[in-house]
């Protein structure tokens, strides 16, 4: 009986120590674990021109301009700040205005030159009819506002 | 309670009754889930038909974490209370869990290319899931690396317990850091954000994946017990 309890205490304590060590490590590396930075992060931190980084946020409504030679210009916003992005290449299927995206590239004269644009998908799954019905009844805006409030939209770092 | 089921003879008797039920449940629920998911559920308003990959991807990812948690519990019971059946269960679970993890990573990659625009990114969710696959493979390698099976079991049980810290990291990675992977749709505060017409096939598949795991687990434990009996009988022959 005694030995059993000793082993139980030992395993329990060891697991607690490992959990604490993992928590500290992950906290220390928080900056490099985040996959992208929001426009506000970038505006506040004043990144250098040569630094490669990922910018994440929503494609601003009405900002997408298609130019010849497959060049697309758009703004990425987190509702507080927005950044001009220029990208040449094929966009993913989910790319559209109001959609979360992650762009990787560098800044050149205040414009973010992306060489890769990824679409971010959110946690809402529904048939097209349900989406239409929600839009018609006006509940769609409530839902997206609620999502933004909870920090679920790309670009807003939940703190 | 534990002692009653830890008796291998009693376990074998119960297992032989339960096993065919699990097999039938897997075939029927999995068949129904696949039919609903692939043919008789709506396309998504954004993803279109690519959403159907989710009916395999999500249950596989859930089971990957479920199997690892079961292994961790079994390893702890084996280490602390020295139940031989717990060690056998942990060892039998590892390859099944590894397959589920691989399936989740593989189907996720297939979905990622058309939807995100990439097969793979090093975000927190994908990376921690890859670490889970390596933990499974490391366990399988370690448990078989010793001539003395009890030493292999001890070392690998400790590995499983240390690696268990990765399971909450996988689950909450999408909440703690910004990732390309979406946050949880089903198990989250405020209820599922997935339409009922898609949730039902998903839950059916999840139950079918669970019964499949139990089915294969029972086969593997029974095989291991029989193999042990043969080994002991041979040793007796040699020494007797």
Same domain? A40 vs A15: no
**Residues A108-133: tens digit of each pLDDT:** 888 899 999 999 888 889 888 888 88
- H or E stretch including B223? helix B196-239
The predicted structure's pLDDT at residue A148: 53
Beta bridge partners of A142: none
Same domain? A62 vs A136: yes
Contacts of A15 in chain B (CB under 8 A): 161, 164-165
Banded model confidence at residue B239, pLDDT cuts 50, 70, 90? confident
Mean pLDDT of B3-20: 82
Banded model confidence at residue B147, pLDDT cuts 50, 70, 90? confident
For residue A41, tell me if it sits in a domain: yes
Same domain? A53 vs A23: no
Same domain? A59 vs A87: yes
Which residue is it, tokens 């990622």? B112
Spatial contact of B218 and B35, defined as CB atoms under 8 Å apart: no
For residue A157, tell me if it sits in a domain: no
Same domain? A24 vs A54: no
Nearest CA in chain A to B49: A127
Instruction: Give the residue among A131, A60, A139 at the shortest CA–CA distance from B51.
Output: A131
Banded model confidence at residue A44, pLDDT cuts 50, 70, 90? confident
Contacts of A116 in chain B (CB under 8 A): 117-118
Owning domain of residue A6: 1-32
Cβ-based interface (< 8 Å): residues of A facing B:
4, 7-8, 11, 14-15, 18-19, 22, 26, 30, 33-36, 38, 56, 91-95, 102, 116-131, 152, 154-155, 157-158
Length of chain A: 159
Q: How many domains does chain A have?
A: 2
The predicted structure's pLDDT at residue A155: 39
What is the distance between the alpha carbons of residues B26 and A52, in angstroms, rounded to a whole number?
A: 49
Task: Say yes or no to pLDDT of B2 above 90.
Answer: no
For residue A155, tell me if it sits in a domain: no
Range with the poorest average pLDDT among A108-122, B62-76, B88-102, B132-146: A108-122
What is the distance between the alpha carbons of residues B180 and B120, in angstroms, rounded to a whole number?
A: 10
CATH number of the domain where residue A98 is located:
2.40.50.140
CB contact (8 A) between residue A120 and residue B46: no
For chains A and B, CB pairs below 8 A equal 117
Spatial contact of A118 and A102, defined as CB atoms under 8 Å apart: yes
Instruction: Give the residue among B130, B138, B132 at the shortest CA–CA distance from B155.
Output: B138
**What own/partner pairs with CB < 8 Å and gap ≥ 24 does A24-27 have?**
A26/B169, A26/B176
Same domain? A86 vs A106: yes
Contacts of B175 in chain A (CB under 8 A): 158
The predicted structure's pLDDT at residue B143: 93
The predicted structure's pLDDT at residue A149: 46
Task: Say yes or no to pLDDT of B118 above 50.
Answer: yes
For residue A77, tell me if it sits in a domain: yes
Same domain? A1 vs A79: no
Task: Say yes or no to pLDDT of A39 above 60.
Answer: yes
**Residues B181-227: tens digit of each pLDDT:** 999 999 888 888 899 999 999 999 999 999 999 999 999 999 998 88
Task: Identify the residue among B46, B189, B198 best suited for mutation to test binding to A, counting A beta carbons within 10 A and taking the highest.
Answer: B46
**Residues A69-99: tens digit of each pLDDT:** 888 999 998 888 889 999 998 888 888 888 8
The predicted structure's pLDDT at residue A156: 40
What is the distance between the alpha carbons of residues A99 and B184, in angstroms, rounded to a whole number?
A: 18
The predicted structure's pLDDT at residue A141: 63
Banded model confidence at residue A68, pLDDT cuts 50, 70, 90? confident
Contacts of A152 in chain B (CB under 8 A): 183
The predicted structure's pLDDT at residue A107: 87
CB contact (8 A) between residue B118 and residue A18: no
Task: Say yes or no to pLDDT of A143 above 70.
Answer: no
Mean pLDDT of B89-96: 96
For residue A126, tell me if it sits in a domain: yes
Range with the poorest average pLDDT among B108-112, B141-145, B229-233: B229-233
The predicted structure's pLDDT at residue A35: 87
Same domain? A19 vs A49: no
Among partner residues A33, A102, A130, which is closest to B180 by beta-carbon distance? A102
Same domain? A119 vs A44: yes
For residue A17, tell me if it sits in a domain: yes
Instruction: Using a pLDDT cut of 90, give the percent of chain A over it.
Output: 21
Where residue A77 falls (left for φ over 0; alpha for ψ -120 to 50; beta otherwise) is: beta
For residue A156, tell me if it sits in a domain: no
CA-to-CA separations, B14 to A122, B2, B17, B82, in angstroms, rounded: 44, 14, 5, 21
Same domain? A50 vs A14: no
For residue A47, tell me if it sits in a domain: yes
Tell me whether 0.85 is exceeded by the ipTM.
no
Same domain? A84 vs A6: no
Same domain? A82 vs A136: yes
Task: Report the sign of the C-alpha dihedral through residues A93, A98, A104, A108, in that order.
Answer: positive
């Amino acid at each position: 009986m005694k030995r059993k309890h000793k082993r139980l205490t030992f395993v329990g304590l060891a697991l607690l120590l490992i959990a604490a060590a993992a928590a500290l490590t992950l906290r220390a590396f928080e900056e490099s674990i985040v996959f992208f930075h929001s426009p506000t992060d970038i505006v506040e931190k004043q990144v250098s021109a040569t630094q490669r980084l990922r910018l994440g946020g929503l494609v601003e409504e009405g900002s997408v301009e298609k130019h010849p030679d497959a060049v697309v210009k758009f703004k990425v916003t987190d509702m507080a700040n927005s950044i001009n992005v220029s990208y040449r290449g094929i966009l993913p299927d989910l790319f559209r205005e109001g959609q979360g995206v992650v762009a990787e590239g560098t800044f050149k004269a205040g414009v973010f030159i992306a060489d890769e644009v990824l679409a971010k998908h959110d946690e809402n799954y529904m048939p097209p009819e349900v989406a239409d019905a929600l839009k018609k009844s006006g509940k769609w805006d409530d839902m997206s506002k609620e999502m933004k409030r909870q920090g679920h939209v790309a670009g807003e770092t939940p703190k | 309670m534990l002692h009653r089921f830890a008796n291998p003879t009693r376990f074998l008797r119960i297992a032989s009754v339960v096993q065919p039920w699990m097999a039938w449940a897997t075939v029927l629920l999995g068949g129904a889930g696949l039919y609903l998911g692939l043919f008789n559920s709506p396309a998504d308003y954004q993803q279109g038909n690519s959403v159907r990959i989710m009916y395999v991807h999500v249950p596989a990812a859930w089971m990957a974490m479920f199997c690892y948690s079961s292994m961790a519990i079994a390893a702890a019971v084996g280490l602390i209370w020295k139940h031989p059946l717990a060690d056998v269960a942990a060892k039998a679970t590892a390859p099944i869990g590894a397959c589920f993890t691989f399936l989740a990573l593989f189907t996720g990659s297939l979905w990622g290319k058309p939807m995100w625009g990439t097969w793979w990114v090093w975000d927190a969710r994908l990376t921690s899931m890859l670490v889970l696959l390596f933990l499974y493979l490391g366990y399988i390698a370690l448990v078989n690396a010793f001539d003395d099976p009890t030493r292999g079991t001890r070392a690998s049980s400790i590995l499983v317990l240390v690696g268990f810290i990765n399971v909450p990291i996988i689950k909450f990675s999408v909440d703690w850091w910004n990732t390309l992977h979406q946050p949880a749709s089903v198990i989250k505060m405020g209820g599922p954000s997935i339409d009922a017409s898609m949730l039902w096939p998903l839950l059916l598949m999840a139950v079918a994946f669970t019964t499949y795991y139990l089915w294969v687990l029972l086969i593997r434990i029974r095989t291991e017990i029989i193999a042990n009996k043969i080994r002991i009988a041979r040793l007796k022959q040699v020494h007797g």
